[in-house]
Amino acid sequence: MSPSKPGVDIEILGVSREFPAKGAPVRVLEEITFDVPDREFGVILGPSGCGKSTLLRIIAGLDFPTAGRVLVHSQEVEGPGAERGFVFQSYTAFPWLTVRDNIRFGARFRSDVAPEQVDAKADELIQMIGLAGFEEAYPNRISGGMRQRVAIARTLMADPEIVLMDEPFGALDAQTREVMQESLVATWEALHKTILFVTHDIEEALFLAERIYVFSARPARLRKVVPVPLPRPRTFEVKTSRAFLDLKAEVMALVRPDTLATAAEKNRGR
């Protein structure tokens, strides 16, 4: 075990990942190294298919690196755990449970919380995500945006120190996505948990992040770390501010060559 780095939640140390394939193995992550500070809202930005989700899954303990290590609070990740919550892109609100039971779901895996506490906290989260009145509804009766909020609340219910989010708003329409971004920003500003959020959407990255980790096309390398010193609390108005647009131009210029490379590779049929 390495000595604990103060103020650092996640240390990613030379992580590479290869997937076996016919012929040569496919390399998706190339010696990624960076630290995620405690209570930061970090966003990994990269072209689609570059391997950024794989890194998130490795941090969650759902996948393992071919080389390198990931430390969370100086402990090497050996598998998934409740202190690292995960939100998927696909809707994972369980269809057989009501909204309330979905949110309470994680409590059955821990014995340290009293049932009354669980109920009180579930109600609090339902209020926070704006689903009061839908407690007893099954997911087949609510919209995709609402289902995703249920999934987020279920993850927050376990009170994780770190929340890993893999393009959680990717399947939503543009308007719903904006509303969800705003409510996520408000949630983070209130709870101040460490969040690592994966997206390929530059505006989304800028609006949410304290820092953006810009990844290259596959195999993904860390191209640059871009701080986002936009004011808080952030609302949708910030998206049309001068500072936002300048940052957007900067990040676009960074990402552009990789986007083109990815598109060209797709045209060649891989």
Partner 1 sequence: MPHRSPYWTPKQPIPARLYGIIAGSSFLLVLGLWSLLTYTGWVRPFFLPTPTKVLVSLWSMAQDRLWKDIGASCWRIGAGFLLSALVAIPLGLFMGTYKVVEAFIEPVNDFIRYLPVVSFIPLCILWVGIGDELKILVIFIGTFFPMLVLVAAEVGKVPNEFLEMTYTLGATRGQVLRTVIVPASLPGVFDTMRVCLGWAWSYVVVAEIVASSSGLGFMVMQASRFLKTADIFAGIVVIGVLGLGSDFLLKRAYDLLFPWSLRK
Q: Nearest 5 degrees, angle CA 157-CA 162-CA 165?
A: 85
- Give the list of residues 6+ apart from residue 205 with CB closer than 8 angstroms, or none: 43, 45, 197, 199, 212, 251
Asked if residues 208 and 181 have their Cβ atoms less than 8 Å apart, the reply is yes
Element of type H or E holding 258: helix 242-267
Q: Nearest 5 degrees, angle CA 184-CA 190-CA 192?
A: 85
> Is 140 one of the binding residues for partner 1 (CB under 8 A)?
yes
> Is 153 one of the binding residues for partner 1 (CB under 8 A)?
no
Write down the least CB distance from residue 137 to partner 1, Å: 10
Stretch that binds partner 1, among 14-22, 40-48, 60-68, 180-188 (CB under 8 A): 60-68
Give the one residue of 158, 202, 212, 214 binding partner 1; rule: CB under 8 A.
158
> Is 151 one of the binding residues for partner 1 (CB under 8 A)?
yes
Write down the least CB distance from residue 90 to partner 1, Å: 5
Stretch that binds partner 1, among 3-11, 59-67, 189-197, 228-236 (CB under 8 A): 59-67
> Is 139 one of the binding residues for partner 1 (CB under 8 A)?
yes
> Is 111 one of the binding residues for partner 1 (CB under 8 A)?
no
> Is 82 one of the binding residues for partner 1 (CB under 8 A)?
yes
Give the one residue of 33, 67, 110, 227 binding partner 1; rule: CB under 8 A.
110
> Is 200 one of the binding residues for partner 1 (CB under 8 A)?
no
Which amino acid type is present at position 89? Q
Element of type H or E holding 44: strand 41-45
Asked if residues 18 and 26 have their Cβ atoms less than 8 Å apart, the reply is yes
Stretch that binds partner 1, among 5-13, 147-155, 196-204, 246-254 (CB under 8 A): 147-155
x/- map, 87-106, partner 1, by CB under 8 A: -x-x-x-xxxx-------xx
> Is 75 one of the binding residues for partner 1 (CB under 8 A)?
no
By CB under 8 A, the count of residues binding partner 1 is 29
d(CA 88, CA 220): 20
Write down the least CB distance from residue 140 to partner 1, Å: 5
How many CB atoms are located within 10 Å of the residue 28 CB?
A: 20
Stretch that binds partner 1, among 6-14, 23-31, 76-84, 189-197 (CB under 8 A): 76-84
CA distances from 193 to 7, 14, 186, 201, 239 (A): 13, 25, 12, 22, 23
> Is 184 one of the binding residues for partner 1 (CB under 8 A)?
no
- Give the list of residues 6+ apart from residue 163 with CB closer than 8 angstroms, or none: 84, 85, 86, 87, 155, 156, 193, 194, 195, 196
> Is 199 one of the binding residues for partner 1 (CB under 8 A)?
no
Asked if residues 215 and 221 have their Cβ atoms less than 8 Å apart, the reply is yes
> Is 85 one of the binding residues for partner 1 (CB under 8 A)?
yes
Q: Which residues of 195-209 are buried (b: 16+ CB within 10 A; e: fewer)?
A: bbbbbbbbebbbbbb
Judged by the rule CB under 8 A, the positions of this chain that interact with partner 1 are 60-62, 79-82, 84-86, 88, 90, 92, 94-97, 105-106, 108-110, 138-140, 151, 154-155, 158
